[in-house]
Structure 1
Amino acid sequence: MTHMAPVILEHHPLLAVRPPETVSMRTRDGARLDADVYRPDAPGSWPVLLVRVTCGRRTALTSHYAHPRWYAARGYVVAVQDVRGCGTSEGRFRPFETEREDGADAVAWAASLPGSNGAVGMYGCGYAGMAQWLALAERPDALRAMVPALAGWDVFTDWAYEGGAFRLADAMGWALRCATESARRLEDGAAFRALLQATRDLPLGDEIPSRPKVLRDYARHCHYDDWLTTPGPGSSWDALSPCCSLAGLPTDVPVLQIGGWYDPRLNGTLDAHAALSERSSAPVRLLVGPWDANGDAPWAGTEAPSFDSLQLAWFDRFLKGEPNGAERAGPVRLFDLLARRWRDLPALPAAITPLHLSSDGLACRRQGGDLQAHSPDESFLDVLVHDPRDPVPTVGGHAVPDAGPRDRAAVDARPDVATYTTAPVAEPLLLAGRVALEVWVEADAPSFDVSAVLSAVLPDGRVLPLAQGHARVEPGDNQRPLTVTLRAVCATLPVGSALRLSLAGASYPAYPVNPGTGAEPGETRLVDAQPITLLIHGGGNRPSRLLLPVAED
């Protein structure tokens, strides 16, 4: 494993910045899109940075990035545009439906702005990151560099569902924010107040937890019902997704991707990097840090650089031609969550090192079961009972608002969680890459969920989640062993610590409680859910195992 020298930023005198100017453009079908444009107050022409947002351009994504004035002072024209149906732009907001054409039109418009030198870069996180991918599919001539952050690649698997289960907390929170913005635009005061309150305290206690009353009453304001009732995958999702729009297309735009270990869309970030690396003639770089979906990482200390410093170096190199070495850094740079240092790799290692589950049938008790190098000769059976009245809660990880490395020791002590733990390691163990689980499991219900969490058990007793995965088994799905895809990880276990796999029948509110009947989440009342007994097999002719990406330090 190599350790690359950091990119050196050129330091130039800061420029004065003009007051922002609101400028409009027309899309190819005539919709007016509005933007605030920030320009250096100096003679000359400049590259343009284009950001296309859903949250209203006046907020300018300043929760994740420096204000556009910061970039303008460093020699860029910055255009922050409301996407169709948001802010003051015309039309109706339908997630991702028009971003391909609108994005390409916006790139051409940005290149023609007064003060532009014709070169355009795009940045933005979340939806604004996905909008970059979709614009790239139109191959606009002026687009010369991109930095999508926390963005994902496939709308179905990165935004709406995970392992076949609806992303309840994440999808509901975003839908409520979208609906609140729609109500504000239409001056629907009652809807705005109710929806705004719901964004602050997710209404998960309603009779139908996955389809609360506030979203039923104001369904006209957002896409939530469409997503909840289209379990897919299928053509309707494919039409929205960059992975399909860009399938097979060669690219020549330099791309720096920024991902977060605690961002819900990390898997898509990795998929996008793998796809582009195969067919791009321009530099493609992946950087995954300790961030969550909000770009926050308070637990990482001072080791996490800002998004601004990362992408400024990229834009300076590819929009201004400055020889700062941005393209010479490693193709993959990962933040080690436990060692708190950056690691450079040529690619993500494969998950090929097995750890087998072993138990005396008491993995749901405090002593738990074991993770070991070899599968036990004798078969074993652990019985896990999921009670929908008290589902196993989601603690930390990536899929809830309170994301991050939260201590889950108390959750692992519950009798409805089965745990399997290695012996303490005698020397540091580095994991870097994706994780997978193959588990022989059955249930006494037509449908059930399996939640899997890989954690580090530290010498001080804390249990910190490193990677999570979730799978919903639908009626008639008899695939065994069940494969649960966990997220990727980069972490060095210190001497004396251990790895732990935790299995449960729920992870709430990250995903809806499975009622056991096979009914869709939007049709399931609290009272409908039934207890489910899970039987976890291992050893003998039904070996359950983890597959880990062990790397060399």
Structure 2
Amino acid sequence: MRSCQWLAAVTRSLQLACVLLLQVSVWAADAELADLERISTADTMYMMPMRDGVRLATDIYRPKDADGKVPVIFIKTPYDFNEIRGASLQWAYQAVSRGYAVAIQNERGRYYSEGEWELLGDPRTDGYDALTWLEKQPWSNGNVGTVGCSSSAEWQLALAAQDHPAHKAMIPMASGAGIGRVGEFQEQGNWYKGGVHQTLFSVWLYGVQQTTYPRFPAGLSQEQLQRLRTMYDLAPDMPEVNWKKQLAKLPAIDWLDDAGGNTGPFRELMARTPADKAWFEGGLYHDNEDFGVPAFWWNSWFDVSQGPNLALYNHVRSNASDKAVRDGQYLLVAPTLHCGFYRIPEHEDLVAGELNVGNASFPVYEQMFTFFDHYLKGNDGRELSRLPRVQFYTMGRNEWESSETWPPRAVQTQTFYLASDGAANSLFGDGRLDRQPAAGAAMDRYTYDPMNPVPALGGGVCCNRGAADGGSFDQRGIEARADVLVYSSEPLSADLQVTGHIRSTLYVSSSARDTDFTVKLVDVHPDGTAYNVDDTIFRARYREGFDKPKLMENGEVYELILSPMSTSYQFKKGHRVRVEVASSKFPQYMRNLNTGGNNYDETEGVEALNTVWHSAGYPSRIELPVLP
């Protein structure tokens, strides 16, 4: 009885603590808003006209003490800004306090903005028209910079291809869902990795796709909308869903309907292949386009989009037609999860999942406005010259580093080859990583059952409402499974810093017509703890190209070149480098049902006997970019 009373008391204390924390958060937001109102003149619910007459709800904050015309920071979002808060509130206060006007706008068809919503908010038309309007305002100096993280960043990329004369600078953060195809990445807005659907997008759409919702009559005045805003914020209250259970249901194309989601683009997107021409007709940026804007790219090691973003930075740096644009590209990569730049503790260590990565703080606003001041206020280049071209945080070493290129020019490739005596299954098998491929033919086999997939634990994830955790975690529970092949190096005789794109090649065969293969890079500590660094996945049918799907033949051996991983990570002396190979990481990635069919509309899977070959003839391997 006493234990029950103690438990009830603890529960009440925790509930009270949660309420107090929430209240403190509300008080802090109210204080930040009061600070913004104190230094700005606000023009709220201005309905900015687009070329087709549709009006987009926009809040504008201008510095009260402005002396003449000012540059503009433009934030565009699909999310509710009826009560400005979070990062947008911080950006607005910091910008206005530095002499900028700030415009925050809802995408077409979102909340008070008129029209029908489209993914990325029509960046090629609405984004362009908004820049034109902002450029022409009597209080504007004609220079506009864009900023945002995730959904408020991704629309900027296609806009940059339009090269609007007022768009002088941009800071896109964690902007992978705006990238269609760039170099060796063809993820089509993070919908895929290696041809496999990343379920985060399905979960995200549950909360935002809404083609049917309450609306006010068109043509209401600004004053009417300002009054209505105090009574209605139009934010839907979506039913709670256990997404781990929901994503296990089949067929996948019914996930959102079954959960009670609103109508929208989900079902049409699920039916697209990675090379579907529709991906090239919307708001995604592709590498066959020019890029017309200096950019300061912010990304994270434990994010869904770091690979494509790093590739896009290099693409623009090398291929933009305007030399000033090529020279105006900067890059920062932090050891956080998605959009975690503003949650890095200033005076204590950051923990990403379970991994302590040290004190990773950096001067967020000093760097942001050093960049904007140069391009929007015309400051001379002395301050900008102090901003590193590329700055990245090396985990394990737990330090910020800088370079003139990504990756640093000094990087050299070190190759580790998969090897075993035929039983690399699980942590308790005989898999190893060797510096030379084995002389004789060798292989490892496992059974992949899509009804019992390998669970996801850690990595680059976002936006999946608890379906899969992001960051770095001890993988030994995963590695105890017989359907996970585990290959480990000998203990390192010296520190090994891996910085750059990590490439992996597998030689495989399968009893199934189609299946997936995953590769995970792991740091094994002397006590046996095994922390994930990064991972990737590839669908075998796309081995000859995403536009050339081809099913497998039983008994045939195929070469798979997986989508690159990316990191900056120091494996310490005495640690081991480990590689895991499996065929699922669920529910982060959608399961392959192994039938050779569509997967998304199927309800039955088949087991696959999958084989990984490793020999001189079949040199399955991982290539690490190492800083000497």
State the TM-score, normalizing by the size of structure 2.
Answer: 0.79
Q: Which residue of 1 aligns with 2:53?
A: 30
Q: Which residue of 2 aligns with 1:392?
A: 454
Q: Which residue of 1 aligns with 2:589?
A: 511
Residues 123 and 146 in structure 1, CA contact (< 8 A), matched pair in contact too: yes
Q: Displacement, 1:115?
A: 2.6
Say which of 290, 299, 305 aligns to 1:249: 290
1:481 partner SS? strand
Deviations 1:455-505, CA, capped at 9 Å, x for gaps: 111223221111211001125257832111232110111111111110111
Q: Displacement, 1:325?
A: 2.5
Residues 501 and 567 in structure 2, CA contact (< 8 A), matched pair in contact too: yes
Mapped pair 1:537 → 2:613: yes
CA distance, structure 2, for counterparts of residue 85 and residue 379 of structure 1: 59
CA distance, structure 1, for counterparts of residue 557 and residue 252 of structure 2: 29
Q: Which residue of 1 aligns with 2:368?
A: 311
Mapped pair 1:127 → 2:148: no
Q: Which residue of 2 aligns with 1:363?
A: 424
Residues 330 and 346 in structure 1, CA contact (< 8 A), matched pair in contact too: yes
Mapped pair 1:227 → 2:269: yes
Q: Displacement, 1:410?
A: 1.2
Q: Which residue of 2 aligns with 1:441?
A: 508
Deviation >6 Å, runs of 4+: 199-202
Mapped pair 1:145 → 2:169: yes
Q: Which residue of 1 aligns with 2:179?
A: 154
CA RMSD of aligned residues (A): 2.6
Letter in 2 for 1:177: G
Moved more, 439-448 or 362-371: 362-371
Q: Which residue of 2 aligns with 1:264?
A: 304
Moved more, 355-364 or 106-115: 106-115
CA distance, structure 1, for counterparts of residue 243 and residue 551 of structure 2: 39
- Report the number of matched residues: 529
Say which of 523, 530, 534 aligns to 1:456: 523
Letter in 1 for 2:194: G
Matches within 5 A, 1:273-312: 273-278=313-318, 279=320, 280-282=322-324, 283-295=328-340, 298-299=350-351, 300-305=357-362, 307-312=364-369
| Percentage of pairs with the same residue | 23
Q: Which residue of 1 aligns with 2:623?
A: 547
Letter in 2 for 1:363: A
Matches within 5 A, 1:85-100: 85-96=109-120, 98-100=122-124
Deviations 1:162-209, CA, capped at 9 Å, x for gaps: 1011111x1112111213x6565559xxx955x442387772243424
Residues 456 and 498 in structure 1, CA contact (< 8 A), matched pair in contact too: yes
Q: Which residue of 1 aligns with 2:204?
A: 174
Q: Displacement, 1:326?
A: 2.7
2:562 partner SS? strand
Q: Which residue of 1 aligns with 2:378?
A: 321
CA distance, structure 2, for counterparts of residue 368 and residue 120 of structure 1: 59
Say which of 434, 450, 466 aligns to 1:372: 434
1:197 partner SS? coil
Letter in 2 for 1:159: N
Deviations 1:186-235, CA, capped at 9 Å, x for gaps: 59xxx955x44238777224342453253686452x21112110113132
CA distance, structure 2, for counterparts of residue 74 and residue 199 of structure 1: 44
Q: Which residue of 2 aligns with 1:3?
A: none
CA distance, structure 2, for counterparts of residue 201 and residue 414 of structure 1: 20
State the TM-score, normalizing by the size of structure 1.
Answer: 0.89
Residues 104 and 136 in structure 1, CA contact (< 8 A), matched pair in contact too: no
Residues 338 and 461 in structure 2, CA contact (< 8 A), matched pair in contact too: no
Q: Displacement, 1:341?
A: 0.9
Residues 201 and 112 of structure 1: CA distance in aligned 2, closer, same or farther (over 3 Å) = farther
Larger radius of gyration: 2
1:398 partner SS? coil
1:549 partner SS? strand
